[in-house]
Amino acid sequence: MKTSDWLILKRKVRFGDCDSAGVIHFHNLLRWAHECWEESIERYGIPYQDVFPTLSSKNKIIFPIVNCEANFFSSIKIGDFLKVRILPQKINNHLFQVDTHFFKNEIKVAEGKIIHCSLNVDSKNKVQIPDSLERWIEASNINRDLKEC
């Protein structure tokens, strides 16, 4: 599998993503960043239930967001096609960050940053990032200079 298979995704700006002027509503950028993170780990081969626990799952680790931010460099409008580049990085044993860069016609138009903390679902104590996510982060960083955007 090529790195680009799970690190470069695509989005089309839809009517429901925009305000009355046809420009993306600001909160959608972070929603897309999170959706792209979910899609990336799924494409990489990490089962959804390993990251997002349900009542019936064996997973006892949750990843609440402890910080997020977005920056816009150009307007994003209805009908735009975006390439989305995911850049995860480990901060320490229980924190990781997912940077998301949005490109329109090869020009970066926005970026998002989401930091997750790895916690035990019952105790809410910090725990080590699971091995599957560690491997995804490491594999994602092997070729940081991916030129497909």
Positions annotated as catalytic residues are 19
Burial class (CB in 10 A: 0-12, 13-18, 19+), 50: middle
* CA 73 – CA 22 distance, rounded (Å): 17
* CA 32 – CA 86 distance, rounded (Å): 11
Burial class (CB in 10 A: 0-12, 13-18, 19+), 97: middle
Best CA proximity match to 102, nearest among 29, 44, 34: 29
**Would you say the C-alpha torsion 37, 41, 42, 47 has a positive or negative sign?**
negative
